Amino acid sequence: MSYRVMVTGAAGQLGHDVVKSFQAEGHQILACDRDQMDITDQQQCTELIATFQPHLIVHCAAYTAVDQAEVDEDTAYTVNASGTRNIAVAAERVGAKLVYISTDYVFDGRGSRPYQEYDVTNPQSVYGKSKLVGERLVQSLCTRWFIVRTSWVFGVHGSNFVQTMLELLEKRPQLQVVHDQQGSPTYTVDLAQLVYTLSLTEKYGIYHVSNSGICTWYEFAQAIGEEAVKQGRFKQPAELIPCTTDQFPRPAPRPAYSVMDQLAIRTNGLKPMRPWREALIAFLNELSVKQGN
């Protein structure tokens, strides 16, 4: 069956790859960024979704400026809560499935074992709180929903930690990187493929999705430097110096431990995503092609 699929936030790094995943399989796509549909405008959402009559909406659009959200709380909630409500109400009205992309920031990061899908949430930042409200609105307003929580996302169509590190590792002699925050990196191509696979099922619920394996930001940066050297991007990356979160105070608190257990993927018979280092190599290869190297 060919689906009519609406993707919000289609210009973002995940949205871009979600659109590609569905297009590759011949589905009819309505790719929406802010110019096509302002998710904070309820009437516009209702009308556009009623006109397109999607079978499925993948809701990638979000306010993701984690530090800015601390001083711009109203905008974070307008986009992540009210905007999500507008999509959820319109989706339910046309009987569409809804995939909501959420985050590891819904947890407090104080745990010492991987968070499972139905563990108690306790967001510490405005961003995390606003995304959790979005989750709750999806659950209460929709009949058929998937909530996909992910972490440490990187892809070639946006700014992210990997892109930043490639630039700094080449230009600086030394670089301090936080070594006391643990998580799991996620490549948008792999995440988009899993969203595609999941969304065509009836296996509704909350899912934790990232590439497999755990690292700190420092270890992630080390791997980026090593793989970039192998690829010939530069000969000698910056010397990496591990540091603590306290040495780099930020307006929004970061979870010290945001590893998520992929219990729902296992128990629903889905294939876990490949190790994050393999995904990093695939990303660097994709980036080389994009840059014409």
Q: 100, 105, 115, 127: which one is catalytic?
A: 127
In SS3 terms, the chain reads as: CCCEEEEECCCCHHHHHHHHHHHHCCCEEEEECCCCCCCCCHHHHHHHHHHHCCCEEEECCCCCCHHHHCCCHHHHHHHHHHHHHHHHHHHHHHCCEEEEEEEHHHCCCCCCCCECCCCCCCCCCHHHHHHHHHHHHHHHHCCCEEEEEECCEECCCCCCHHHHHHHHHHHCCEEEEECCCEECCEEHHHHHHHHHHHHCCCCCEEEECCCECCEEHHHHHHHHHHHHHHCCCCCCCCEEEEECHHHCCCCCCCCCECCECCHHHHHCCCCCCCEHHHHHHHHHHHHHHHHCC
Q: Does the annotation count 127 as an active-site position?
A: yes
Burial of 235 by CB count in 10 Å (0-12 exposed, 13-18 middle, 19+ buried)?
exposed
How many residues comprise the chain? 293
> Which residues are catalytic, by number?
127
